[in-house]
Amino acid sequence: MVLPLPNICSTDSVPDTFALEDAPLASKHETLSLAQVVPEAGNCVQCGMCSYNCPMEIDVRAFAWRGKPIRDSHCLTCAECVNRCPRGVLRFERVSLLTLK
Amino acid sequence: MPTTHVIIGSGIAGLCAAESTRQIDPQAVIRMVSEEPHEFYSRPGLAYFLRNDFPESQLTIRTPEDVAALNLQRVHGQADKLACDTHEIVLKDGRRVRYDRLLLATGALAVPPPFPGGNLAGVVTLDGLDDCRKIIAMAWSGYPAVVVGGGITALELAEGLNARGMKVEYFLRSTRYWADVLDETESKIVMDRLRHEGITIHTETQVKQAIGSDGRLTGVETQAGKHFPCEVLAVAIGVRPRIELAKQAGLLVGKGIAVDQYLQTSAPDVFAAGDCAEVFDPVSGKPTLDVLWPTAIVQGRIAGANMAGAARPYVKGVPYNVTMLAGLKVSIIGAVSGGAANEDLVAITRGESEAWRVVPKSWVVGADDDVNRVRLVVGDCTIAGALVMGDQTWSRPLQQLIIGKVDITPIRPALIAGGAEALTQLAKFYREWEKRV
Ligand SMILES: Cc1cc2nc3c(=O)[nH]c(=O)nc-3n(C[C@H](O)[C@H](O)[C@H](O)COP(=O)(O)OP(=O)(O)OC[C@H]3O[C@@H](n4cnc5c(N)ncnc54)[C@H](O)[C@@H]3O)c2cc1C
Ligand code: SF4
Ligand code: SF4
């Protein structure tokens, strides 16, 4: 199965909450590592604030229900859903391209 | 013959039960009886609909395809009687519904206003979508409203009415907000922010009566004899599990419907889950109520599976909730008691667990500025509870340490000493623990 890759053009679009500074500089894999939104399903109250505010109309709430990372090729990693969630359910997590098999 | 499962209640516990039954038994007949005719919706989401953060349609939590795939028969009506001997429920309009397995997922209802005038039009409580619609229709911008009560729902009402432009007067019986869960500083932070949003708080103020003319609310009179004109009086002084059906049928009940570890009631083939159920808590040795969304999900799933023949025990976890109080994120994990009784509530509130109120002594380990705080309740060798306010960096690590009952003996003295050093030690400890697991 080929999973769509999150759409990050530059590291500028990676939000602060995603601690890039921790990464030792520029091994080949790490240059290719990306961020994705990951839910903590147990805290989600399915309020829908995330989906409502997603500029790409991704149904973030449905991912949160299933506890699945938001793997949608349209995700801009803009952090709108992460910041709007009133329950702190969503966060960014680094994904290495190598794990996206 | 397929088994007939009847679920009373279309809240999240009922829905999760139906989904879990369906997964195990594709042939089962599943009938869901509910007085709410709506699509499945998020009850906690009502607070944001009330606040006008999004339209009503956003509350729906299942697509039509998901619902169709469940193959449910929905029955709109109120269950009035449960006849265990004939395995039937009788609806208010006389219809009868037979069951092989029954789930009571009837939730909880707001405690009605205890003062005279509580039945006037304009006096409201918030339990479901119909209430929310009604409140929104009454919330005229520029007009005064009074909110009474403690806990999360009272705040959501105050903030919602405020966001809709009403002039909100918030009455607290005691001197501070949610005193049994928040400590003094935390209460003060929340109260200051509410004032900043434009809400007027009146401490040590109680309603004596609601006043009206022609059956419609015009104002309230306080115990001290002051008069406040208002169009809306919103009351959130706690909730009570809906146990009438069970009680009338002779099932074992306490504050909620008593269930064993398989979520089975004292009657054969009858289960209960969610806000209405009272589960034995091995930690306190007492039956406890959790009026929490995540608990309702877990219990619903387990009850649904067990009704379809599984034998899954429910293990009461550490209760936690992440919520917004006056625009601040707050995580409440395990036992956190604020150290005082809460005079604003006559019953447990929504989004709350009784288990939070038990431990008296706690230490503030990080309070770096006005709003960001971490308070720990430190037990003999574990962290028993925590309240994380503002910056939520610590919420997840603490959830893991508390839920995992991790032995913190090596850093206990540092934690109790408090201050910034305690957090540094805790961070170091957490990182090492995380590596090990
Ligand atoms: C405004 C608001 C905010 C909340 N915020 C939070 C929060 O932040 N965090 C949190 O953890 N929890 C929160 N909660 C609580 C959470 O929503 C509940 O814990 C959860 O919804 C319980 O689900 P349930 O299925 O057990 O009951 P409910 O969702 O109450 O469902 C019960 C259903 O049964 C129906 N019913 C009852 N009796 C009968 C009968 N005799 N016949 C037919 N139908 C019947 C009711 O009409 C209802 O549809 C909030 C609740 C409200 C109202
Ligand atoms: S905003 Fe947060 S709590 Fe609400 S549905 Fe999305 S992930 Fe869940
Ligand atoms: S990060 Fe932005 S684009 Fe991606 S799901 Fe969240 S809100 Fe939508």
CATH number at B350 reads: 3.30.390.30
Same domain? For B269 and B416 the reply is: no
- Inside any domain, residue B300: yes
- Inside any domain, residue B48: no
Same domain? For B269 and B363 the reply is: no
- At B361 the pLDDT is 56
Which residues in B343-376 are b (16+ Cβ under 10 Å) and which e? bbbebbbbbbbbbbbbbeebebbbbeeebbbbbb
- The residue among B210, B140, B188 whose CA lies nearest residue B168 is B140
The answer to whether residue A31 scores a pLDDT higher than 60 is: no
CB B178 within 8 A of CB B193: no
CB B311 within 8 A of CB B320: no
CB-CB neighbours of B82 under 10 Å: 23
Same domain? For B230 and B297 the reply is: no
User: A34: part of which helix (H) or strand (E)?
Assistant: strand A34-39
- At B380 the pLDDT is 83
Give dist(CA B23, CA B405) in Å, integer: 33
- At B332 the pLDDT is 92
Residue ending a domain, among B235, B267, B292, is: B235
Residue ending a domain, among B235, B259, B291, is: B235
DSSP E strands in B197-256: the ranges are 200-202, 207-213, 216-222, 227-229, 232-236, 239-241
Average pLDDT of adjacent 10-residue blocks, chain B of 437 residues: 96 98 97 97 97 97 96 97 97 97 98 96 98 98 95 95 98 91 91 97 96 97 97 96 97 96 96 95 80 94 98 88 91 80 62 59 62 86 90 89 92 85 90 90
Size of interface A-B (CB pairs under 8 A): 53
- At B92 the pLDDT is 97
- Inside any domain, residue B332: yes
Provide the ipTM: 0.88
User: A93: part of which helix (H) or strand (E)?
Assistant: strand A90-95
- Inside any domain, residue B315: no
From chain B, pick out residues whose CB is under 8 angstroms from the CB of A86.
48, 323-324, 329
Joined together, the tokens standing for residue B302 give 């387990």
Joined together, the tokens standing for residue A76 give 């801009």
Give dist(CA B199, CA B191) in Å, integer: 9
Same domain? For B163 and B214 the reply is: yes
- The residue among B77, B42, B47, B44 whose CA lies nearest residue B62 is B42
The answer to whether residue A56 scores a pLDDT higher than 60 is: yes
For residue A95, name the pLDDT band (cuts at 50, 70, 90): confident
Q: Domain total for chain B? A: 3
Residue ending a domain, among B210, B235, B260, is: B235
Give dist(CA B20, CA B273) in Å, integer: 13
Same domain? For B101 and B250 the reply is: yes
pTM of the entire predicted model: 0.89
**CATH number of the domain that B202 lies in?**
3.50.50.60
Q: Sign of torsion, CA A23 A29 A35 A37?
A: negative
User: B400: part of which helix (H) or strand (E)?
Assistant: helix B395-403
Same domain? For B175 and B185 the reply is: yes
- Inside any domain, residue B248: yes
Same domain? For B92 and B72 the reply is: yes
User: What domains can you pick out in chain A, each with its CATH number?
Assistant: 35-96 (3.30.70.20)
Per DSSP, the residues of B326-395 read TTEEEEEEE----SS--TT-SSPPTTEEGGGG-----EEEEE-SSS-EEEEEE-SSSEEEEEEES--TTH
3-state secondary structure of A41: helix
**3-62 of A, contacting B, C-beta below 8 A:** 40, 42-43, 45-49, 51-52, 61
- At A27 the pLDDT is 45
- At B346 the pLDDT is 59
**Closest-CA distance of chain A to residue B325, Å:** 10
Strands B144-149 and B270-272: unpaired
- Inside any domain, residue B50: no
- Inside any domain, residue B364: yes
Sheet architecture: strand order including B277-281: B257-259, B277-281, B286-288
What are the pLDDT digits (tens) for A76-87? 999 999 999 999
Joined together, the tokens standing for residue B61 give 């939590």
Same domain? For B102 and B244 the reply is: yes
3-state secondary structure of B129: helix
Same domain? For B125 and B29 the reply is: no
Determine contact: A86 vs chain B, CB below 8 A: yes
Same domain? For B270 and B254 the reply is: yes
CB B31 within 8 A of CB B71: no
The answer to whether residue A17 scores a pLDDT higher than 90 is: no
The answer to whether residue A10 scores a pLDDT higher than 60 is: no
What are the pLDDT digits (tens) for B23-32? 999 999 999 9
Same domain? For B139 and B86 the reply is: no
Ligand 3 pocket test target in A60, A61, A63, A85 with most atoms within 8 Å of CB: A60
Same domain? For B181 and B245 the reply is: no
- Inside any domain, residue B408: yes
Mean pLDDT of A52-70: 95
For residue A23, name the pLDDT band (cuts at 50, 70, 90): very low
- At B219 the pLDDT is 97
Nearest CA to ligand 2 atom 6: A50
- At B348 the pLDDT is 62
Q: HSE on the CB side for A15, CA within 13 Å?
A: 15
- At B339 the pLDDT is 67
What are the pLDDT digits (tens) for B3-41? 999 999 999 999 999 999 999 999 999 999 999 999 999
Strands B73-76 and B232-236: unpaired
Domain around B410: 320-436
Determine contact: A83 vs chain B, CB below 8 A: no
- The residue among B225, B208, B14 whose CA lies nearest residue B107 is B14
DSSP B253: B
